[in-house]
Amino acid sequence: MRRIAPLGLRTRLIAAFLLVAAICAVTTAALTYQKARNAILKQTQDTAVSSLREQIEQQTTRLPMTQDQLQAVVTELGKRGKPHPWTVFGEYGSLRASSSSAAPFGPVTDTLRRKVRENRYGAFQRVENGSGDPYLTIGIAAVFPHGGVAEPTGAVYFASVPLTDESRTVQAMVDAAKQGAVPAIALAVIPALLAARSVLRPVRDMRRAAQRLGLGRLDTRIEVRGADELAGLARTFNETARALEHSVAELREAEVRARRFASDVSHELRTPLAGMLAVTEVLDEDAEQLDPDTAKALRLVSAETGKLAVLVEDLMEISRFDARAAELNLDDVDLAVAVGKTLERRHWDDGRVRTDLPPGVRARLDPRRFDVVLANLVGNALRHGGAPVLITVRTGPGEDGERLLVEVADSGPGIAPEVLPHIFDRFFKADAARTRSAGSGLGLAITLENVRLHGGTLRAANGPFGGAVFTLDMPLEAHA
Amino acid sequence: MPRVLLIEDDPSVREGVGLGLRRRGHEVSAAETGEAGLALMRSFRPELVLLDLMLPGINGVQVCRRIRDTSEVPIIMLTARGDDFDIVVGLEAGADDYIVKPARTEVIEARIKAVLRRLSDPAGGRPEVAHHGELAIDRSGLTVAKNGERLALAPSELKLLLHLSASPEQVFSRQQLLEYVWDHSYHADARLVDACVRRLRHKIEDPDRSPRYIQTVRGFGYRFGPL
């Protein structure tokens, strides 16, 4: 079942305008038609009825009437039709007469006969003959005055007046109304379009502006026209955008300052560390010949210098990601070889890590960053989870080209549910009691950034059999 | 043990690296500025230069170019990772390798040894001078001549050319070249290879033709020939 698409504002406005115009035109036409028709017909009726009555009253009849007398009266009446020529029929008991030989009994209905008997002033009825021409039929019972009271003579005269002219007049009016209504409705489209445009343009401008705002163009403003509600809305929009721009600018400045500070600090730390790190070997070697306390102190300095160097290196790496200064140096690599070398370099090729690699898969990626990602995931799996660790590499179709899927699963207890959402946070301590993690505390954050730089995603979850599972999904061919 | 010239403006790094290398038996001479380093080039005649890229006055890249004008001495840059642009510029200027600071002395020494290492000939028993088109490559004398004219090649350029030309028409990935030629553990920087190939092409290829000797195989790496 498809839902019908909602109509646009423009369509609805035009439809409303047309509907109003149509209702106006139709109502006006209908009322005009009805009034005019009634007026025209009433005039014809009244004239015909009164003239028939007059004519009947002028006739002298002797009762009881014979067929000849009835025919004579009818013929006489038939000559004096007003406003139009008419055909007159007479009925007296069982006698019948007609002024026209073409219509011997005429279109007199029983309804009219009954009405005439009930109403001594006469009655009339509009009828149509077989070919649909309208007629007015009038019936009047002839009376004679008797002691101040009109007594019926028993003769009833009917006149049938053709209404062709009136019908034509009315038809002409209907046509005029129709011909007037259609252009009126058509003309209504113009103000409808204008009104729609005047409403829609600000709405459309606002939509575009909102889109631009959403894309981060916070300097977007709308031109305010006029002083109506839409202009008020535009003004409010502009004020909102201005406020937003201001606060975002402040936030960005603060963020830039914070990032620059982190970056500057790590840069500043690097130079003294370079000097310190170069001499740690000397400390370690000479500690052998010194008293135990000094030796211990020297080894401590040496070990911590090494850790500090790693931390500073990681801090700088994160700073570069934050400053969008991290670059991809892409190369085409054989995945099986790349994974094998990563394990080999760190001496993890001793059976603790199992691999499930399709041979001959080539990917375009940054080998150094990929190595860092994989080493970090496997290192974490070994440290926090436990051997055996399984690396599964698969390729599959994605929305925009082939995807590379790498899964690193360990055999440990898995990741605690309260830890999962924060696993990629910087310096996140899974165990509050552990003041310092084995690494810099930035490992997984850097891993995630490296994956993102390749246009991929990294998810952490617990596998069906309890161990932690990290799933890396990135394009098989990354773009710098 | 090789004589190392260390050009580094920061005293702690200069002293620390100098001390570490001396302890391992190297003869180290240190200079604080590029100018002082260039002066020492003549008097000290180092077998290897450790060069900091961020120097006051004439910077490391310029120093590197000046050294290369007159000498094929191996040059290793001291850089900070993230100064990506500097690495590329330094490599283009003729450096053979680079070390990211901070680094332990053992790492620095490993790089020094790798740069100074002579390539073992992968296929012995071949004629000493192999002719490839206009190039004459002398594997034992470690010289390359083009049209009889000897080319001045930096150590990394020479090693790369010897390695590629030892197996003509075989494709080597960048990662393989990093391992064989630079002795880098696997995931070093492929830009080392690319920069070296560019410098080498500049010296051996015809500038107005597509590369003949060192050809790029898209998606795989580089190969020597086919001519």
Contact A274 B106 (CB under 8 A): no
Distance CA A165, CA B61 (A): 110
H or E, element range at B194: helix B190-204
**pLDDT tens readout for residues A112-124:** 888 877 777 778 8
User: Is position B123 within any domain?
Assistant: no
B28 lies in the same domain as B65: yes
Cβ distance A317 to B81 less than 8 Å, yes or no, reads yes
**Which residues have CB under 8 Å from B88's CB, separation 6+?**
B191, B195
Q: Output the domain CATH number for residue B97.
A: 3.40.50.2300
Mean residue pLDDT across chain A: 84
**B86-114 average pLDDT score:** 90
Give the integer Cα–Cα distance in Å for A371 and B188. 10
Q: Write down the pTM of the prediction.
A: 0.65
Cα–Cα nearest to A144, from A252, A47, A64 = A64
Of B17, B189, B221, which has the smallest distance from its Cβ to A329's Cβ? B189
Q: What tokens appear for B140 in the block?
A: 């034992």
> A-chain residues within 8 Å CB-CB of B15?
275
The minimal CB distance from B186 to the residues A279, A341, A362 is found for A341
**Phi, psi of A147, deg, nearest 5:** 60, 45
For domain A331-475, give the fold: Heat Shock Protein 90 (3.30.565)
- Is B32 within the bounds of a domain? yes
Q: Where are the domains of chain A?
A: 9-170, 230-322, 331-475
B9 and B112, same domain (yes or no): yes
Burial B75-97, CB ≥16 within 10 A → b, else e: bbbbbbbbbbebbbbbbbbbbbb
**Is the CATH number of domain A230-322 1.10.150.120?**
no
State the pLDDT confidence band at B126, using cuts at 50, 70 and 90: low
Q: What is the DSSP string of B145-185?
A: EETTEEP---HHHHHHHHHHHHSTT--B-HHHHHHHHH---
In terms of domains, do B111 and B159 share one? no
Strand partners, A333: A363
Is residue B60 located within the same domain as residue B157? no
DSSP summary character for residue B123: S
Is the CB of residue A388 less than 8 Å from the CB of residue A354?
yes
Asked if A272 and B101 come within 8 Å (Cβ–Cβ), the reply is no
Name the residue among B18, B7, B190, B47 with its Cα closest to residue B108: B18
Q: For residue B66, what are the CA distances in angstroms to A293, B39, B63?
A: 50, 11, 5
Minimal Cα distance from B18: which residue of A? A278
**What pLDDT score does A65 carry?**
77
Which among B92, B116, B140 is the end of a domain? B116
- Look at B102 and A280 and tell me if their CB atoms are within 8 Å: no
Fold agreement (A230-322, A331-475):
no
Q: What's the CA gap between B109 and A149, in Å, rounded? A: 148
Binary contact (A317, B82; C-beta < 8 A)? yes
Residue that has been written with the tokens 């043990």 in this structure: B1
Q: Is the pLDDT of residue A434 over 50?
A: no
Summary mean pLDDT of chain B: 89
Domain end (from B116, B150, B170):
B116
Give how far B37 is from chain A: nearest CA, Å: 19
Report whether pLDDT(A437) > 60. Answer: no
Query: Domain total for chain B?
Result: 2
Rounded Cα distance, B17 and B30, in Å? 10
Residues 6+ apart with CB under 8 A from A426: A318, A441, A442, A445
CA distance B163 to B166: 5
Domain that holds residue B153: 129-224
Q: Is residue B21 part of a domain?
A: yes
Residue B82 sits at the chain A interface (C-beta within 8 Å): yes
Of A281, A312, A329, the CB nearest to B20: A281
Looking at residue A382, the DSSP 8-state letter turns out to be I
How would you write B131-151 as a 3-class SS string?
EECCEEEECCCCEEEECCEEC
At B218, is the secondary structure helix, strand, or coil? coil
Which are the contacts of A223, defined by CB distance < 8 A and separation ≥ 6? Answer: A205, A234
A295-325: per-residue pLDDT in tens? 999 999 999 999 999 888 888 888 888 888 8
Residues of B in contact with A371 (CB under 8 A): 186-187
- Give yes or no: residues B90 and B138 share one domain: no
For the record, the structure tokens of B146 come out as 């083009």
Q: Would an 8 Å CB–CB cutoff place A367 in contact with chain B? A: yes
Choose, out of A260, A269, A282, the residue to mutate when testing the contact with B (most B CBs < 10 Å).
A282
Does the beta carbon of B187 lie under 8 angstroms from any beta carbon of chain A?
yes
User: Which CATH number among 3.40.470.10, 3.20.20.70, 3.40.50.300, 3.30.450.20 corresponds to the domain A9-170?
Assistant: 3.30.450.20
Which of B82, B116, B150 is a domain's end point? B116
What is the average pLDDT across A411-416?
A: 88
Q: So what's the pLDDT on residue A339?
A: 93
Nearest chain A alpha carbon to B19: A279
- List of chain B residues whose C-beta atoms are within 8 Å of the C-beta of residue A338: 175, 186
Under 8 Å between Cβ of B20 and B128: no
CATH of the domain at B149: 1.10.10.10
Q: Which of residues 86-115 of B touch A (CB under 8 A)?
A: 101-106, 108
Q: Is the pLDDT of residue B49 over 70?
A: yes
pLDDT band with cut points at 50, 70 and 90 for residue B45: very high
Q: What is the reported pLDDT for B82?
A: 60
Among A276, A327, A367, select the one facing B190 at the smallest CB separation: A367
Nearest to A332 among B12, B108, B220 (CB): B220
Decide if B52 is inside a domain: yes
Residue B149 lies in a domain: yes
Chain B closest CA to A474's CA: distance in Å?
18
- For A278-293, the pLDDT digits (tens) are 899 888 888 888 899 9
